[in-house]
């Protein structure tokens, strides 16, 4: 891997920023490395839907260094190129949700998280591929093309934030944003061997995030090491009056909080969720249990039982599909969405054509199921029962977190599937979410941490804790990172 001016593609972001503050000209050297690598690997990985041209970013950096000269020393993301999932609004940069419905949409405003990144000197390098409207676990339901896993191009990178994860581990960007409704940050983080955090619901503003299931959607950071993850969270977290679900939480420096915990090295209580290890494939379970042993050699561990398995997945999909059917109703070709001819045509014909051409199969299926569970005669049977179960699950974990500081499980119970594998068995795709959907249903933070490989395929564990305890998850992540040595990984794309 080439090194220019003491920096390389896998130099951690926190070190990059130090180098850029000392010598801002290194930003251009680094961008040159990034774009050369994109030219080399992107045709194979296909992580991006839209890439900002190199000359555009160069011009932006030149203006930034000239106009913000007095602020450069305090910018936490100075000169750092960031890949952004394509369902987060970026002013002047196409935002498609990987759907034909929004193929030509260019937002007139930035999401709050984008504004916060720009304020800290971050650079938006492009918009990453995803499952259409974030509905999927493989990035294969994208209307444009599937993204491939850089560790094995015959396999999926996970989803729905698969493009963001693939861009990181392919060396196309050092930081990324994803969104997580049922595991869409943690799933691809696990399959690609990077770090991904789903924050507490309401900690990060959803303003500018194109909604899938509003009561569970959350934007979060993705990185190649724990400190970079904490840095990105510090930038994007905090109250936003534009988002009615935003928590009144003051800004917090998670890097400092992490370093403070790390210096004290508190011993914590960790719950091992027995059932979530039992559902995992043997290869995944073995590697994940080694990570558990690493933590339990220092912390106090106890086995806990979760009395629900299939109910968790069923409740999640009922609620998510119901909310999706409501959220996506706005895409009618009149207010939003694909534009078609209205001449001498009735509203029904126009509406049918827009949604037939604009939405892919998976999105149509989820809208149909969501409409069904909300319909008269079935709402109480499905949707209301799912909401009641959600409350029971929240109360169960409230009780669990009175006795432990965090719980651990494999992030994903399976290895990265081959391209097309889930198309043959969609139920297997839905059931693979069993470990990740819990955090979204109860609004808790959860993190995916790479802990090993099997046949060159990454395996990760998930840690989950009570709301607003992201610093605990980052502390445990840093401990595992040191014990495994798995950080700043970049796959060799052939």
Contact 89, 106 (CB under 8 A): no
SS3 149: strand
* Catalytic (active site) residue 160: yes
SS3 331: strand
Which residues sit opposite 123 in a β-bridge? Answer: 81
Pick from 364, 358, 366, 416: nearest CA to 138:
416
From CA 218, how far away is CA 227, in angstroms rounded? 20
* Catalytic (active site) residue 104: no
Contact 29, 7 (CB under 8 A): yes
Q: Where are the beta strands (DSSP E) in 205-282?
A: 219-223, 269-273
Contact 373, 152 (CB under 8 A): no
From CA 119, how far away is CA 215, in angstroms rounded? 28
From CA 400, how far away is CA 407, in angstroms rounded? 9
* Catalytic (active site) residue 154: no
For the range 347-356, what are the long-range contacts, defined as Cβ-Cβ under 8 Å and sequence gap of 24 or more? Answer: 354/101, 355/331
Q: Tally the C-alpha atoms within 13 A of residue 156's C-alpha that lie toward its C-beta.
A: 30
Contact 444, 273 (CB under 8 A): no
Catalytic site residue from 85, 127, 198, 466 = 85
Pick from 164, 153, 159: nearest CA to 140:
159
SS3 436: coil
Catalytic site residue from 137, 160, 246, 448 = 160
Catalytic site residue from 137, 142, 161, 184 = 184
Which residues sit opposite 149 in a β-bridge? Answer: 152
Contact 234, 252 (CB under 8 A): yes
Q: Which residues are catalytic?
A: 85, 160, 184
């Amino acid at each position: 891997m080439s090194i220019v001016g003491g920096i390389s593609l896998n130099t951690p972001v926190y070190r990059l920023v130090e180098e850029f503050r000392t010598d801002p000209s290194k930003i251009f050297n680094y961008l040159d490395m990034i774009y050369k690598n994109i030219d080399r690997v992107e045709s194979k990985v296909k992580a991006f839907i839209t890439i900002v041209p190199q000359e555009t970013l160069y011009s932006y950096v030149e203006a930034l260094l000239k106009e913000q000269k007095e602020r450069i020393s305090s910018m936490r993301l100075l000169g750092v190129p960031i890949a952004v999932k394509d369902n987060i609004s970026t002013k002047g940069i196409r935002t498609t949700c990987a759907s034909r419905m929004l193929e030509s949409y260019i937002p007139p405003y930035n999401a709050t998280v984008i504004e916060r990144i720009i304020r800290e000197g971050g650079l938006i390098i492009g918009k990453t591929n995803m499952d259409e409207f974030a509905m999927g676990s493989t990035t294969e339901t994208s209307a444009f093309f599937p993204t491939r896993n850089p560790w094995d191009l015959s396999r999926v990178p996970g989803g729905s934030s698969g493009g963001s994860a693939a861009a990181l581990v392919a060396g196309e960007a050092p930081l990324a944003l994803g969104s997580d409704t049922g595991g869409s940050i943690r799933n691809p983080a696990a399959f690609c061997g990077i770090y991904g955090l789903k924050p507490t619901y309401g900690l990060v503003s959803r303003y500018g995030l194109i909604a899938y299931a509003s009561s569970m959607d959350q934007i979060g950071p993705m990185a190649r090491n724990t400190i970079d993850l904490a840095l990105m969270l510090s930038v994007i977290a905090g109250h936003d009056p534009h988002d009615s679900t935003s928590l009144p939480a003051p800004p917090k420096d998670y890097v400092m909080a992490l370093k403070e915990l790390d210096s004290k090295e508190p011993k914590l209580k960790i719950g091992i969720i027995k059932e979530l290890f039992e559902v995992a494939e043997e290869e995944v379970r073995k590697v994940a249990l080694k990570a558990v042993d690493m933590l339990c050699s220092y912390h106090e561990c106890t086995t806990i039982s979760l009395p629900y398995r299939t109910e968790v997945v069923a409740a999640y999909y009922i609620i998510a599909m119901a909310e999706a059917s409501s959220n996506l109703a706005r895409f009618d070709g009149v207010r939003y969405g694909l534009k078609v001819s209205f001449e001498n045509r009735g509203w029904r014909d126009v509406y049918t054509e827009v949604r037939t051409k604009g939405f892919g199969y998976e999105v149509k299926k989820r809208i149909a199921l969501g409409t069904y569970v909300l319909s008269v005669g079935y709402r109480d049977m499905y949707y209301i029962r799912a909401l009641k179960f959600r409350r029971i699950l929240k109360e169960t974990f409230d009780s669990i977190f009175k006795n432990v500081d965090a719980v651990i499980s494999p992030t994903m119970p399976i290895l990265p599937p081959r391209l097309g594998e889930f198309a043959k068995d969609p139920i297997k795709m839905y059931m693979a979410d069993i470990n990740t959907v819990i955090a979204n249903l109860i609004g808790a933070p959860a993190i995916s941490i790479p802990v090993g490989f099997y046949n060159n395929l990454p395996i990760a564990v998930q840690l989950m804790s009570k709301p607003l305890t992201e610093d605990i998850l980052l502390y445990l992540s840093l401990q595992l990172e040191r014990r495994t040595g798995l950080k700043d990984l970049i796959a060799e794309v052939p």
